[in-house]
Amino acid sequence: MRKWFKEIREKKGLTQMQFAEILSVSHQLIGKIENGGNIRVSTAKDLGEKMRIKWYLFFEDYDKQLADKYSNEEDDLKFLKKLQKEIKDQPHDGQAAPRFWAIGDIEERVTAEGYEDKVVIYDPFDAEDYTLDEVVSRLKDIKDGKEDMLTDTPELRESLDEDLEEIELDIQAYGEPDLDDIIRMYQEYIGGDPRVIYASRDHVVKTNTMFITKQGAKDHLKLNDYHYTKEAHTYAMTAWRAPKVERLWKILENFDWSKVNLQNDKEKVLSEIIEYFEEQQGYDINEVIADIVHETNLIKVGEESIDADECSIEWGDDYCCNLDEFVEKYTEELLNKVVNVVKSFKEE
């Protein structure tokens, strides 16, 4: 079983169906993953990208070095092509280039009276804070017997009824209850030492959030919503007077990635060999073959080819029984020596 995958879903309070919708997969796949079922590497990579985790975590017996090896240049090139399309197709959100996205949210901060966006009543006894509406709701619960009164007497209950009627009149007239009345009623009917806290609701750009694309910011919010309020949103910004960022963004948006050749040095040299041989120019083929035979310590049996089943191949002091065994054991070393020979001819 993949307990870690299930814990992520449960920590977010999501059903398998809801988690599947966020990840754009079937709920059957979510169940399969949680129960330890086998999935394709391509599926793991897709989920890894969406969840911002290493794809090989989906495989219990993974080898990190092996997994990193398979995150090769070809995968990187596909990623860059996909990213480029996403950059070109996304909205600007009113920001000039080079633009990026962060997460915007609302933070409540203690402020001075007169600068507040909301007022809360803090009760140090139970270490809770309540809005004025929540205090009124608690007082009504006391009236209806759903919550205990501090000192329950007929006189106090009659007084509570009158106070609640007064509160309702204030709400109708001014849109909110009188703060002094709320504090007095809290002390009389609920008890404790309530304190008034004035709070502002300020828009902030959350630290440690930066995304090249708007979709990347959206995916982050879906998977990490428990770190933010319900008012969290993507927030576009401009990297102002940042020439290196501007240049990088232009490369990501405009570079023709289809022209990138992923051949390594050996492959490039061998490609040139083939090209020269096909054009029958540049090298004396027999001389090249002779040097390759000499440098690689291979036995050339006249003009005849070596049969794959014959024990006819020597490699230094080593001896291979057949061609398949030789290919399996020495291909990389042979290739290196062949390339070195060809390079020496090119330099001449």
Quickly count: other Cβ atoms within 10 Å of residue 64's Cβ: 10
Which of 192, 215, 234 terminates a domain? The answer is 192
- By residue count, the chain amounts to 348
CATH of residue 51: 1.10.260.40
Per-residue pLDDT at 74 exceeds 70: no
Q: Which one, of 90, 128, 84, 340, lies nearest residue 234 by Cα?
A: 90
Same domain, 271 and 343: yes
Work out the pLDDT band at 258, boundaries 50, 70, 90. confident
Q: Are residues 276 and 342 in the same domain?
A: yes
Query: What confidence tier does 330 reach under pLDDT thresholds 50, 70, 90?
Result: low
Give mean pLDDT, residues 54-70: 57
CB 194 within 8 A of CB 123: yes
Amino acid code (one letter) for 282? G
Measured between alpha carbons, how far is residue 13 from residues 26, 51, 135, 228 in Å?
A: 18, 16, 28, 14
Is the predicted pLDDT of residue 131 greater than 80, yes or no? yes
Cα atoms found within 13 Å of the Cα of residue 270, Cβ hemisphere only: 11
CB atoms within 10 A of CB 190: 21
**Greater model confidence, 63 or 216:** 216
Whether 134 is in a domain gets the answer yes
Please indicate, yes or no, if residue 209 is contained in any of the structural domains: no
Rounded-to-integer distance, Cα 2 and Cα 332, Å = 38
Output the pLDDT for position 204.
96
User: Is pLDDT of 170 > 70?
Assistant: yes
Q: Which of 90-99, 171-180, 224-233, 273-282 has the lowest mean pLDDT?
A: 273-282
Residue among 167, 203, 209, 200 nearest 185 (CA): 167
User: How would you classify the pairing of strands 313-315 and 118-123?
Assistant: unpaired
Specify the pLDDT at position 336: 66
pLDDT of residue 292: 62
> Is the confidence at residue 306, as pLDDT, over 50?
no
Question: 234 in a domain, yes or no?
Answer: no
Residue 176 has phi, psi (to 5 degrees) of -155, 160
Look at residue 109 and tell me if it is in a domain: no
pTM of the model: 0.53
Residue 142 has pLDDT above 80, yes or no: yes
Cα–Cα distance, 265 to 273 (Å, whole number):
12
Rounded to 5, what percent of the chain is helix, strand, coil?
Answer: 55, 15, 30
Amino acid (1-letter code) at residue 127: A
Nearest to 184 by CA among 135, 128, 137: 135
State yes or no: pLDDT of 77 exceeds 80: yes
Strand, coil or helix: 333: helix
- Asked, for residue 104, whether it belongs to a domain, the answer is no
Sign of the torsion angle spanned by Cα atoms 134, 136, 138, 141: negative
Q: Which of the four pLDDT bands, split at 50, 70 and 90, describes residue 317?
A: low
Asked whether the beta carbons of 207 and 105 are under 8 A apart, the reply is: no
* Within a domain: 278: yes
Count of C-beta atoms within a 10 Å radius of residue 299: 10
Residue 272: inside a domain, yes or no? yes
Contacts (Cβ under 8 Å, ≥6 apart) of 43: 29
Q: Which of 192, 211, 228 is the last residue of a domain?
A: 192
The count of domains in the chain is 3
Model confidence at 52, in pLDDT bands (50, 70, 90)? confident
Contact by Cβ (8 Å): 266, 336: yes
Predicted local distance difference test score (pLDDT) of residue 308: 42
- Compute the distance between CA of residue 316 and CA of residue 330 in angstroms, rounded to an integer: 11
Residue 326: which domain range? Answer: 265-347
* Cα–Cα distance for residue pair 310/308, rounded to 1 Å: 6
Is the pLDDT confidence value at 108 over 70?
A: yes
Task: Check whether 293 has a pLDDT greater than 80.
Answer: no
Instruction: For residue 348, count other CB atoms closer than 10 A to its CB.
Output: 6
Residue among 22, 61, 25 nearest 42 (CA):
25
91 found inside a domain = no
- Amino acid 266 reads K
Burial class of residue 256 (count of CB atoms within 10 Å of its CB; 0-12, 13-18, 19+): exposed
Last residue of a domain, one of 192, 215, 243: 192
Instruction: Write the pLDDT tens digit of every residue in 7-46.
Output: 888 888 889 999 998 898 999 999 999 888 888 878 888 8
